[in-house]
Amino acid sequence: MKAQVLYRPGEPEQFSYQDWPQPQPGPGEVLVRLHATSVNPADCKIRLNGSALGPELPAVLGADVAGEVVALGAGVSAFAIGDQVFGCAGGVRGMHGSYAEYIAADVHLLARRPPSLSLRQAAALPLAGITAYEGLVDRARVRAGQRVLVYGATGGVGHFAVQIAKACGAHVSAVVSTPKKAAVARSLGADEVVLYRDEGPDDYVERLTDGLGFDLVFDAVGGDNLNLAIQAARPQGQVVTLVARQSYDLSAAFAKGLSLHIVFMLIPMLHDLERARHGEILRELARLADDGRITPLLDAERFDLAELPAAHRRLESGAAVGKVVVDIPAAEPARAAQA
């Protein structure tokens, strides 16, 4: 099969587009002929740094999966050959990734493609959608009537956070950088928008919450932005963040009695821990998609597997709006129909 193989950490040009051994499904796995995948910040970090989270090099990276089941491993009954599936199922330590024509994937990490979404759209949903759902629903228990603030509201995770919070009945405010992105956020269902270059936290907290602060702040930006999220939360409110890999002074969070939730959705894959929950979340996301409550936002730039370095560059540029999706052209038929 064709795959993008990383031999050493570094810039996107370190990927090598070449022939690579086709995986075979083990017990509890299915072989998926991939039609599309997407690029996530975690993929870029593993590529750049050779992170301990990634597979041993040389390896195929890539987490998101969308394609057709073409072979079944021993003991698999949840899926049949020909099923179209999606999920976040590879590209981390010990797991072959999705920057390839085929992937052998744990069935617990997959769900059937929702009929309302194309395979390209389905490829954009898994990692980012699970992250947003875990933070808002599993951790923060978002509920109707709450005031929710989303930072990075038109990014990969943030645009799902806006839609999931809205689907749960929350009043959603979206923080973005430009009027164009503000229009996108409103199209996703945001009730209010904040242009952070024009307004500071004190200003939009006063304008949108009468100075009290937001019940729940979802920080899809991370880094120093966590301090802004804490500033925007109300006393005894909640903050969900995705990137907290530095030292912080949490005295402001302590003074408000905040609950801080740090979401790292790769843990079930890395530690083989409660993986079935990811499958459950995927099925709930599929239901929301079929109900018209969430729609993946795809960046306007298109790439195929041979152009993966350019897709990584696009995500790292910060210019992408929504998810960067990579199409995977038709492959030769899989060598086995049953493992």
Q: Are residues 172 and 258 in the same domain?
A: yes
Report the interhelical angle of 158-167 vs 179-187 (nearest 10°). 40
Reply yes or no on whether the pLDDT at 339 is more than 50. no
Query: Domain for residue 255, yes or no?
Result: yes
Res 103: pLDDT: 98
The pLDDT-based confidence of 337 (bands split at 50, 70, 90) is very low
DSSP letter for 240, please: E
Position 336 in a domain: no
- In terms of domains, do 253 and 211 share one? yes
Q: Kindly state whether residue 337 falls inside one of the protein's structural domains.
A: no
Q: In terms of domains, do 219 and 282 share one?
A: no
Q: Please name the residue that has the structure tokens 């038109």.
A: 154
Match 């009695």 to its residue by tokens: 257
Q: Round to whole Å and give the CA distance between 329 and 270.
A: 29
Chain segment 27-76, per-residue pLDDT in tens? 999 999 999 999 999 999 999 988 788 999 999 999 999 999 999 999 99
* pLDDT value at residue 338: 41
Model confidence over 268-287: pLDDT tens digits? 999 999 999 999 999 999 99
Same structural domain, 149 and 257: yes
Contact 170, 189 (CB under 8 A): no
- As for how many domains the chain has, the answer is 2
* Mean pLDDT, rounded, for 315-337: 83
Q: Are residues 308 and 218 in the same domain?
A: no
DSSP annotation of 139 reads I
CA separation for the pair 313, 13 (Å, rounded) = 10
Instruction: Report if residue 335 sits inside a domain.
Output: no
CATH code at position 152: 3.40.50.720
Average pLDDT value for the chain = 95
Whether residue 237 sits in one domain with residue 120: no
Mean pLDDT of 19-24: 97
Q: What is the mean pLDDT of residues 298-318?
A: 97
What's the pLDDT band for 246 if we cut at 50, 70, 90? confident
State phi, psi for 39 to the nearest 5 degrees.
Answer: -105, 130
Q: Nearest to residue 260, comparing CAs of 282, 247, 244, 272?
A: 244
Which residues form the domain of 243?
A: 133-262
Minimum mean pLDDT among 41-55, 112-126, 171-185, 292-306: which range?
41-55
Residues 255 and 272 placed together within one structural domain of the fold? no
Q: Which of 237, 262, 287 represents a domain boundary (last residue)?
A: 262
Do both 254 and 139 map to the same domain?
yes
DSSP class of residue 307 equals G
* pLDDT tens digits along 119-170: 999 999 999 999 999 999 999 999 999 999 999 999 999 999 999 999 999 9
